[in-house]
Structure 1
Amino acid sequence: MQLTNKRLEWDQFLEIRREILNSWPTGQEVDLEEAIAYQSKIPDNRRFAKKLETAKQEGITLAQPRAGVALVNEHIELLRYLETEGEADLLPTTIDSYTRQNRYNEAQAGIDESRSVGRSMLNGFPAVNHGVVACRQVVESVISPVQVRHGTPDARLLTEISLAGGFTAYEGGGISYNIPYAKDVPLERSIRDWQYADRLVGYYEERGISINREPFGPLTGTLVPPCISHSIAILEALLAAEQGVKSLTLGYGQCGNLTQDVAAIRSLEELADEYLSRFGYQDTVVTTVFHQWMGGFPQDESKAFGVISWGAATAALAKATKVIVKTPHEAMGIPTKEANASGIKATKQILNMLKDQPLMQSQELTEEKELIKAETRAILEKLLEFGEGDIAVGTVRGFQAGVIDVPFAPSRYNAGKLLPARDYYGAVRLLDFGNLPFGEDIKEIHREKIAQRGKTEGREPSFQMVIDDIYAIGKGMLVGKVR
C-alpha cells in the first residue's frame, strides 16, 4: 500500500483490522459497536478532551503524572493514590516496554512473574495482555480522565483495546513514536500504522465520541530545538486530522530558558492553528502540553524539586493546557507512588500560585516566537515541496534528506547531523545545522549567540559544549559553562 496523506477507505481499514484483532487473543474481546456504546456512557468529567477544552477556555494548566505497573489491582491502587494524595488533574496509564514492541508473550511472562514475586516486574501496564474488561476496571476505578501513554511504532492493537477499554485519550504518532524510540522501523511503515490508529479515533469521532490525541512532544528529550519538535507535532497533527481526529494536544519538552520555553508553547499553538486551517481542518481543537525537564536530574531530592518547580512555573507562565510532571526520583529509576505524588503536589502548588499571572510579554519573547515560527515554517514548507503537497510523502523524503533531523535519535532513518548547544543564557541553539533548510539570516542568529557564549567562556564553540550542556542540570546548573 503506497503511503499518502489520505483518509483510509473504510473497507480497507476493516480488511487490516481483521488481521490486527487476530494477532493476539484479547483482540477478540473488541466489538466496535459495543465499544462505542460503552464510550458514549462515560460522563464529561471523565472525558479527556472535554477537560482539556475547559482548561483552555479558563486559561488554567492541568497536572498529569506518568505511571504504570504490571497488575490490574496494583495499577488501580497507584492511580487512586495519585488522584487523591497527589491531587492529579489527569491520570496516565503508561504501557510497558514489551507491549510497546508488540512482544506480548514476554509481557505475559512479566505479568506472571509479578504475581509470583508480589511486585511489578514490568515498567508499565500491559494493556493488550490484560484486555478490554481489565482496562474498563482501571478507568472506572477513578474519577479523573485517563490517558494511555506508551512509545509504540505499531500501536494498532493497543489502540483497539485501549479505546474499547474506555480510555479517552491516546498518546503517540508515526514519527514521534518511531524516530526517538526505534532503530530499524521504516518511517513509511510507522506513519501508515498510525494512520490506522487515527482512522479508528476518527471513526469514534464520527459516532460522537471524542478521543484526545497527543503526539509525543519531547522526542529524544535533551536539547531538542523548538523548531524540530514543533515541526513533528504539526506533521502528526495534520496526519491525524486527515483521518478524522478532532481533539489534538501538541507537546513541547522544557529546554530551560524561560523566554524560549514560553515562546515555544505560544508559537506551537499558533502554528498548529495556522497549518490546520490552511489545509481545511477547521473544526479541530488544539491544546498544548508542556513536559517538565526530560534530561538528567540531580540525585539529591531537594535539588530535583527545584527542577520540577521550574518546569511547573514555566508551564503556568506559558499558559500550557497541561504539564507532564516529573518526580524527585528521576535520577534513581522508577519512582515510588509517594515520590510521584510529591512531584505532582509541588507542581500543583506552583500552578495554583501562578494561575492568575498574565501571559508573559516582552520584546525578547516576541523575537524568540518569530524566530521559532520562521524556522518551523522553513522546515514544513520544504517537506511540502518534497512531497509535492502530500505531507506524508514529504515527511519520509525529508527525513531521508535530513531537512528534518532529530538530535540524538537512534533511528537509522534519521540523518543525525543536527547538533544543538545552549547559548550564554541557556536557550537551545544550533552548533551544526545539518541539512536544515534555513536561510543565512536564521543561521547567523544561531552563530552569533553561540559565539557570544564561547567568547564569554574563553573557548571555541565545539562538541564539548554539547556534552557539558547535557550533564549540566544533573550537576546543578542549566548551562554547562566553563567557570
Structure 2
Amino acid sequence: MRPPAPGARPDRRPGSAPAGPASRGFGDFVRAHGGNGRLVVQPRMGFSDPAAMRAGLAATRAAAARTVGTITLDAHTRVGRLDAAAAALRQGTPLNGYPVVTHPPAVTAQVLDGIRSPGFPVQVRHGSARPVGIFRALAALGLDASEGGPVSYCLPYGRTPLAESVTQWATACELFASLRETGREPHLETFGGCMLGQLCPPSLLVAISVLEALFFLRHGVRSLSVSYAQQGCPEQDTEAIAALRRLCAELLPTDDWHVVVYTYMGVFPETERGARRLLASSAELAVRTGAERLVVKTVAESRRIPTVRENVDALELAAATAETAGRTAPTPLPQPADSPTYQEAAALVHAVLDLHPHLSQALLLAFRRGYLDVPYCLHPDNRGLTRSYIDPAGRLCWAATGNLPISHLVRPRSGTRLTSATLLADLTRVRNHFDAPAPPAVASRAPAGG
C-alpha cells in the first residue's frame, strides 16, 4: 500500500476532533461540531482517477474549515452502466465522478488510507434510483455514510418506475444497516429537500425529506440527516427549515439526526462575485436556522466541474461567513408555532402516513393519487397536476395544488398565468439577482436574497 499523500497527516486540523477512539460515525461527528452557531461544510467532489480523488479528499481535510469529505460517483455507476465505466477506465477517459463499484476495493482502500478518520468522515454521494450494487460496494469497503432516497433519487433523474426504486432502496437500507454488526453506525441523508433544485414549494420539500427519513428508519438505518435546498427568499427558507426541524422532532423516534442545507441548486450566478455572494448567503441561512452542515457550490458551477482549489475556496468562504454569522446570531431565530410551511408539510406527511401502514406502499399510493405531486416533474409516476410560481417578494407559491391534501390551507392566487416567459424568469431570478451590481450603500454586504 502506498504511503499517505500530502495532506494525509494526523488529524489535528483546525476545527476537528483530535484523533482518538472511534466515534459512532458521520452523524456523531457532524452533531458534535455543527449547530449553535457552528457549521460543518462539505464539497460536491468526485474524480475517476484514484490519485486525484485522494488529493481532493486531502485538500478538503486540510482546508481552513470544519469539513467532512465527499466521494461523488460518476453518471455511469449511478445508472448501473458498469460496462461503460470499466471501458472508460481502460481507455483512460475521465468520468464525472468516482466509479466505486468498478475500481478494485484495494484501490479505494488506498484512496482512503491515512485520510479518513474519526475526525474526518467521508460520505459517498451517488444519485441512483437502483442503489443496491452501490451500497453493496460501500459496505464491503466499510464506507458508512451516503445519501439519497426512493423518491428524490428517482423522480428527477430518469424513468425508473417508482415502485422499483422503493424496492431497491428498501433492500439497500437493510444492507447498509447491517454495517452495525461490524461496529459502525451507518448514516443516510435524505435528498428529499432538494427535489428538482428549484420551483418546488418548501412545504413539499420538507414533507418528502421527512418521509424519506422515516423510510430509512423503518428499514433499519438509525443515524440520519434531513436536507433542505436554499431557494430564493430568506424568510421563507428560514420558515421551511424550522418546519423541517419541528416535524423531525415530532415524528422521528431517534435523536441521531441533523439538518443539512444545500447552497442554491438552480441556475447559478455567472459572475464570480455573484456566486460568492450566493454561497455566503447560504452559509448565513444555515447558521441562522441552526443547521449543522452545509453542502456548498463554487464559483465555477455555471460553467464546468470545479477544481479542487475552487472547492476548497468555497469551503473556506462558507466557513468564514458562518463564523462571522455565528458571532451575531448564535442561536436559531424563533419561528411561529404553526407557520404556513409547517401546516402544509404536516398535512402532506400525515396524509401519506394514513394511506397504508407500510410506508413503501404509502409512498406509491401517494403519487398514484396525487397526494405527492412535484411541479414540472416529467416522471411517468408523477401526476403533474401541480404548478408553482415566485411571487414579487421572492416566495415560492402554489399556482395549482392538484390533488395535494392542502386545499384547506392554500388558496392559489386566481388569475396566475404561467407561460414559458414567466417560467424562464422564475428559473433565472436568483442568478440575475446575485449577478446584479449591488447598490453603492450596501456594496460590501451580500444581500439576503430574494
Inter-partner Cα distance in structure 1 for 2:371 and 2:425: 26
- Would you say 1:71 and 2:49 are equivalent positions? yes
Q: 1:44 to 1:219 in 2, by over 3 A?
A: farther
Q: Does the residue aligned with 1:188 lie in a helix, a strand or coil? A: helix
Select the residue among 113, 120, 140 that pairs with 1:140: 113
What do residues 426-445 of structure 1 show as CA deviations (whole Å, max 9, x unaligned)? 121111112211133x213x
Q: Does the residue aligned with 1:386 lie in a helix, a strand or coil? A: coil
Task: Give the paired residue count.
Answer: 412
The correspondence of residues 178-327 of structure 1 with structure 2, limited to 5 A, is 178-183=154-159, 185-216=160-191, 217-276=193-252, 282-327=253-298
Q: Does the residue aligned with 1:182 lie in a helix, a strand or coil? A: coil
- Would you say 1:437 and 2:405 are equivalent positions? yes
Shift of 1:382: 2.1
Instruction: State the TM-score, normalizing by the size of structure 1.
Output: 0.80
Match of 1:476 in 2: 433
Inter-partner Cα distance in structure 2 for 1:360 and 1:283: 21
Inter-partner Cα distance in structure 1 for 2:87 and 2:65: 33
Match of 2:301 in 1: 330
Match of 1:383 in 2: 352
Gaps of 5+ in 1: 1-40, 115-119, 277-281, 455-459
Q: 1:419 to 1:439 in 2, by over 3 A?
A: closer
Shift of 1:311: 1.0
Instruction: State the TM-score, normalizing by the size of structure 2.
Output: 0.86
Q: Does the residue aligned with 2:339 lie in a helix, a strand or coil? A: helix
Match of 1:151 in 2: 127
Gaps of 5+ in 2: 1-18, 437-450
**Partner AA of 2:235 in structure 1:** T
Structure (1/2) with the larger helix percentage: 1
Q: Does the residue aligned with 2:312 lie in a helix, a strand or coil? A: helix
Contact 2:277 2:434 in 1 (8 A): no
Inter-partner Cα distance in structure 2 for 1:93 and 1:222: 24
Q: 1:270 to 1:91 in 2, by over 3 A?
A: same
Contact 2:225 2:259 in 1 (8 A): yes
Identity of aligned residues (%): 28
**Partner AA of 1:467 in structure 2:** L
Deviates more, 1:200-209 or 1:312-321: 200-209
Contact 1:327 1:335 in 2 (8 A): yes
Shift of 1:242: 1.3
Select the residue among 359, 366, 376 that pairs with 2:336: 366
**Partner AA of 1:134 in structure 2:** V
Match of 1:462 in 2: 418
Inter-partner Cα distance in structure 1 for 2:380 and 2:64: 40
Q: 1:385 to 1:478 in 2, by over 3 A?
A: farther
Q: 1:406 to 1:43 in 2, by over 3 A?
A: farther
The correspondence of residues 152-171 of structure 1 with structure 2, limited to 5 A, is 152-171=128-147
Match of 2:391 in 1: 423
Match of 1:102 in 2: 80
What do residues 237-259 of structure 1 show as CA deviations (whole Å, max 9, x unaligned)? 11111122111000011012112
Inter-partner Cα distance in structure 1 for 2:22 and 2:362: 38
- What is the Cα-based RMSD across aligned positions, in Å? 2.4
Q: Does the residue aligned with 1:293 lie in a helix, a strand or coil? A: coil
Match of 1:124 in 2: 97
Shift of 1:270: 1.6
**Partner AA of 1:334 in structure 2:** I
Shift of 1:476: 2.8
What do residues 378-420 of structure 1 show as CA deviations (whole Å, max 9, x unaligned)? 2122223332x33221110111122101223242111222211
**Partner AA of 2:98 in structure 1:** F
Select the residue among 387, 407, 414 that pairs with 2:382: 414
Q: 1:401 to 1:42 in 2, by over 3 A?
A: farther
Inter-partner Cα distance in structure 2 for 1:271 and 1:371: 13
Inter-partner Cα distance in structure 1 for 2:300 and 2:378: 25
Inter-partner Cα distance in structure 2 for 1:411 and 1:421: 20
Q: 1:370 to 1:285 in 2, by over 3 A?
A: same
Q: 1:398 to 1:478 in 2, by over 3 A?
A: farther
Q: 1:50 to 1:140 in 2, by over 3 A?
A: farther
Contact 2:374 2:386 in 1 (8 A): yes
What do residues 334-357 of structure 1 show as CA deviations (whole Å, max 9, x unaligned)? 111121111111111111112241
Shift of 1:284: 4.8
Q: Does the residue aligned with 2:309 lie in a helix, a strand or coil? A: helix
What do residues 275-312 of structure 1 show as CA deviations (whole Å, max 9, x unaligned)? 22xxxxx3351211000000111211111111111111
Shift of 1:171: 0.9
Inter-partner Cα distance in structure 2 for 1:260 and 1:465: 21
Poorly superposed stretches of 4+, deviation over 6 Å: none
Deviates more, 1:232-241 or 1:96-105: 232-241
Match of 2:7 in 1: none
Q: Does the residue aligned with 2:154 lie in a helix, a strand or coil? A: coil
